[in-house]
């Protein structure tokens, strides 16, 4: 399913009144301003670049962020420094996509050979530029810039602790908590990388970090490896990126993934690794949802190619939920590859069932005066020629509230599909994620309150099959992973209550 649909399903589903048996929730009562204060749930992307040869890196960071834009569309930012001279960070952050925030002139002004960028996840409505990253801070040893993907589970506790020693917080992002810990550890540590490592002893949760000190680029990944991070190189320039697709985008060579628990320090000495925070491989817990949905098809994370894992997911579905049909189609963009896998395994032809309107972007409005048109139709249309008279298997990656899925099935049937068999390349979400995946709360999720058979009936499918939990391991070989959102088996202790911050 398409990222815009995801957001829409949660916020606009009240617009689709024909699903009588789906209880419509009260529309979120938070105003635009209130929503932002929770600061929960962001998925993000980070990208660092360090040219030892002294070339400006802002353009490369800009390209890298473009390749990571799917990881966050709310806001973005770049901070750069000149390791030979200025030793001060220049930064530019703003709301919107990379090409909303940056233009030629701004990139030229961001002079410096060491830089880091960030893209942040977009929740509909609530945004504020104060929460954009990278954070640039001044502290006892000078200056640092920090970009962070992930979510801490002990952020509330750490904030409280910090506050009791006189800390003030100006954002609601965990990165500020991390920055404080790095700054404080630095008082008693020989160098910045040591401070990052010591901070890691305090912070618990999911994180991929890029921290730039005036002369070093430091990458770190939480010991479970929940969030991805990898290293690339092009001539004398080193890169750190959330996904390998961004390394490729800047025409660099992929070196390797940062290991779970590793701290890598890139400086004039090259890459120096500190593995002292690493934990045994079997305890590692990569987010399985990176493979299912977050990561780009052309990325490879910890040795497993995302495209390949989705093909395997489709194959697994075909094995578990075979059905006689004429055609397999995927819901763009994320369902396409799993559909291909289903087709390959089942021998049922793969078809191009949908046209996705690529002009419907962030700013699409649904005029109030329009009663008949649905936004689903504007974003996605069925190619009748393909599905008419066919028994269709439709593969998607998730069902959130069910309204979008029901609409798509309705469109397929109106276009002449005789049967629509839905296959979902992930198990149902049943548990909250505390590590940065924005899963709606329980009662917003159809799977939380209905059986698969009830869901099937509500969305109007002829059959419905979810990926089985036991088959997830097929997707990622012998890597150990986190599937807590499906199973409740969290790799670490998580808060009993919702950890969203209440500032009062």
Question: Using CB under 8 A, which of the segments 28-36, 197-205, 261-269, 402-410 binds a copy of itself?
Answer: 28-36
Among 29, 190, 282, 504, binds a copy of itself (CB under 8 A): 504
Window contacting a copy of itself (CB under 8 A); options: 11-19, 85-93, 416-424, 487-495: 85-93
Q: Does 268 bind a copy of itself (CB under 8 A)?
A: no
Cβ distance to a copy of itself smaller for residue 427 or 460? 460
CB count within 10 Å of CB 385 equals 10
Contact between 60 and a copy of itself per CB under 8 A = yes
Instruction: Report if residue 29 touches a copy of itself, rule: CB under 8 A.
Output: no
Binders of a copy of itself among residues 289 to 308 (CB under 8 A) are 296-298, 300, 305, 307-308
Handedness of CA 458, 466, 123, 202 (dihedral sign): positive
Cis before 134? omega within 30: yes
Q: Which one of 102-110, 419-427, 461-469, 479-487 is the stretch in contact with a copy of itself (CB under 8 A)?
A: 102-110
| Contact with a copy of itself (CB under 8 A) among 14, 163, 303, 324 | 163
Element (H, E) at 248: helix 244-249
Stretch of 20-28, 148-156, 353-361, 491-499 contacting a copy of itself, by CB under 8 A: 353-361
Lookup: tokens for 96: 């919107």
Q: Is 281 in the site for a copy of itself (CB under 8 A)?
A: no
Q: Which residues contact 345 (CB under 8 A, 6 or more apart)?
A: 314, 315, 318, 319
Q: Rule CB under 8 A: which of 453-492 touch a copy of itself?
A: none
42/438 Cα distance (integer angstroms):
6
Q: Is 26 in the site for a copy of itself (CB under 8 A)?
A: no
Using the minimum distance from each CB to a copy of itself, give the nearer residue, 32 or 281.
Answer: 32
By the rule CB under 8 A, 259 interacts with a copy of itself: no
Could you give the 3-state DSSP secondary structure of residue 49? strand
383 binds a copy of itself (CB under 8 A): yes
Q: Which residues contact 441 (CB under 8 A, 6 or more apart)?
A: 432, 498
Closest CB to a copy of itself among 87 and 450?
Answer: 87
Q: Does 358 bind a copy of itself (CB under 8 A)?
A: yes
Interacting residue with a copy of itself among 16, 183, 211, 392 (CB under 8 A): 183
Residues 223-252 that bind a copy of itself (CB under 8 A): 234, 245, 248-251
Range 287-305 burial, b when 16+ CB lie within 10 A, else e: bbbbbbbbbbeebbbbebb
Pairing between strand 142-152 and 135-139? antiparallel
Q: Any contact of residue 355 with a copy of itself (CB under 8 A)?
A: yes
Which of residues 62 and 466 has its CB atom nearest to a copy of itself in the complex? 62
**Rounded to whole angstroms, how far apart are CA atoms 111 and 242?**
23
Residue 21 found at the interface with a copy of itself (CB under 8 A)? no
User: In whole angstroms, how close is the CB of 347 to a copy of itself at the nearest point?
Assistant: 12
Closest distance of CB 489 from a copy of itself, Å: 29
Find the part of the chain contacting a copy of itself (CB under 8 A) among 19-27, 105-113, 391-399, 431-439.
105-113
| Min CB(388)–a copy of itself separation in Å | 10
Minimum separation from the CB atom of position 460 to a copy of itself (A): 17
Q: Residues 273, 264: contact at Cβ < 8 Å?
A: yes
CA distance 152 to 131: 16
- Asked whether position 73 contacts a copy of itself by CB under 8 A, the answer is yes
Binding status of residue 62 toward a copy of itself by CB under 8 A: yes
| Between 299 and 398, CB nearer to a copy of itself | 299
72 binds a copy of itself (CB under 8 A): no
The SS3 assignment for 47 reads strand
| 34: contact with a copy of itself by CB under 8 A | yes
Please answer whether residues 257 and 78 qualify as being in contact, where contact means their C-beta atoms are separated by less than 8 angstroms: no
Rounded Cα distance, 254 and 340, in Å: 27
Q: Give catalytic status of residue 76 as yes or no.
A: no
For residue 21, give both structure tokens: 């048996």
How many residues lie near a copy of itself (CB under 8 A)? Answer: 107
- From candidates 255, 323, 378, 430, binder to a copy of itself by CB under 8 A: 378
- The CA–CA distances, whole Å, from 351 to 54, 105, 232, 392, 424 equal 50, 45, 36, 9, 17
Could you say whether residue 27 binds a copy of itself (CB under 8 A)?
no
Instruction: Please identify which of the residues 44, 287, 405, 482 carries the catalytic annotation.
Output: 44
Find the part of the chain contacting a copy of itself (CB under 8 A) among 31-39, 45-53, 195-203, 490-498. Answer: 31-39
Count of positions (residues) in the chain = 504
**Cβ contacts of 362 within 8 Å, gap of 6 or more:** 4, 73, 96, 97, 122
* Separation between Cα atoms, residue 304 and residue 300, nearest integer Å: 5
Q: What track of x and - describes contact with a copy of itself for positions 121 through 160 (by CB under 8 A)?
A: --------x-----xxxxxx-xx---------------xx
- Beta-ladder partners of 206: 151
Fill in the DSSP letter of residue 460: T
Q: What are phi and psi of 80, to 5 degrees?
A: -135, 155
Q: Which residue's CB is nearer to a copy of itself, number 276 or number 357?
A: 357
Query: How far separated are the first and last CA of the chain, in Å rounded?
Result: 38
Q: Which tokens go with 368? A: 């109030």
Active-site residue list: 44
């Amino acid at each position: 399913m398409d990222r815009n649909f995801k957001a829409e399903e949660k916020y606009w589903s009240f617009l689709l009144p024909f699903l009588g048996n789906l209880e419509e929730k009260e529309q979120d009562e938070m105003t635009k301003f209130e929503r932002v204060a929770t600061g929960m749930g962001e998925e993000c992307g980070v990208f660092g670049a360090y040219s030892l040869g002294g070339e400006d890196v802002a353009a490369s960071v800009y390209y890298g962020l473009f390749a990571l834009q799917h990881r966050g569309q709310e806001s973005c930012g770049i901070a750069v420094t000149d390791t030979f001279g200025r030793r001060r960070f220049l930064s530019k952050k703003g709301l919107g996509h990379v090409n909303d925030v940056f233009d030629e002139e701004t990139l030229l002004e961001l002079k410096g050979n060491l830089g880091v960028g960030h893209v942040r996840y977009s929740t509909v409505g609530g945004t504020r530029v104060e929460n954009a990253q990278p954070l640039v801070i001044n502290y006892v040893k000078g200056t640092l810039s920090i970009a962070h993907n992930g979510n801490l589970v002990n952020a509330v506790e750490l904030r409280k602790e910090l506050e009791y020693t006189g800390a003030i917080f100006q954002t609601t992002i965990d990165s500020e908590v991390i920055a404080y810990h790095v700054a404080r550890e630095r008082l008693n540590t020989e160098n910045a990388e040591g401070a990052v490592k010591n901070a890691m002893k305090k912070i618990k949760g999911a994180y991929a970090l890029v921290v730039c000190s005036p002369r070093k680029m430091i990458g770190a990944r939480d010991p479970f490896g929940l969030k991805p991070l990898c290293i690339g190189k092009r001539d004398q320039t080193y890169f750190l990126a959330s996904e390998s697709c961004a390394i490729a985008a800047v025409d660099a060579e992929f070196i390797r993934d940062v290991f779970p628990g590793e701290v890598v320090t890139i400086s004039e000495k090259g890459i120096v690794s500190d593995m002292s925070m690493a934990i045994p491989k079997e305890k590692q817990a990569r987010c399985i949802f990176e493979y299912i949905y977050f990561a780009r098809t052309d990325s490879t994370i910890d040795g497993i190619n995302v495209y390949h894992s989705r093909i395997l997911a489709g194959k697994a579905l075909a094995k578990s939920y075979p059905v006689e049909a004429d055609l397999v189609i995927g819901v763009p963009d994320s369902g396409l590859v799993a559909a291909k896998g289903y087709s390959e395994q089942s021998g049922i032809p793969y078809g191009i069932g949908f046209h996705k309107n690529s002009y419907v972007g962030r700013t699409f409005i649904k005029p109030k005066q329009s009663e008949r048109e649905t936004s689903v139709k504007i974003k996605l249309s069925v190619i009748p020629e393909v599905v008419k008279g066919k028994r269709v298997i439709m593969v998607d990656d998730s069902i959130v509230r069910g309204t979008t899925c029901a609409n798509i099935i309705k469109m397929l049937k109106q276009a002449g599909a005789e049967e629509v068999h839905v296959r979902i390349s992930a198990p149902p979400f049943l548990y909250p994620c505390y590590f940065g995946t924005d899963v709606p709360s329980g009662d917003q999720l159809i799977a939380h309150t209905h059986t698969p058979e009830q869901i099937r009936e509500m969305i109007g499918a002829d059959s419905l099959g979810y990926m089985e939990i036991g088959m997830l391991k097929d997707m990622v070989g012998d890597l150990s992973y986190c599937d807590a959102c499906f199973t409740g088996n969290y790799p670490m202790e998580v808060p009993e209550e919702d950890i969203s911050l209440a500032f009062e």
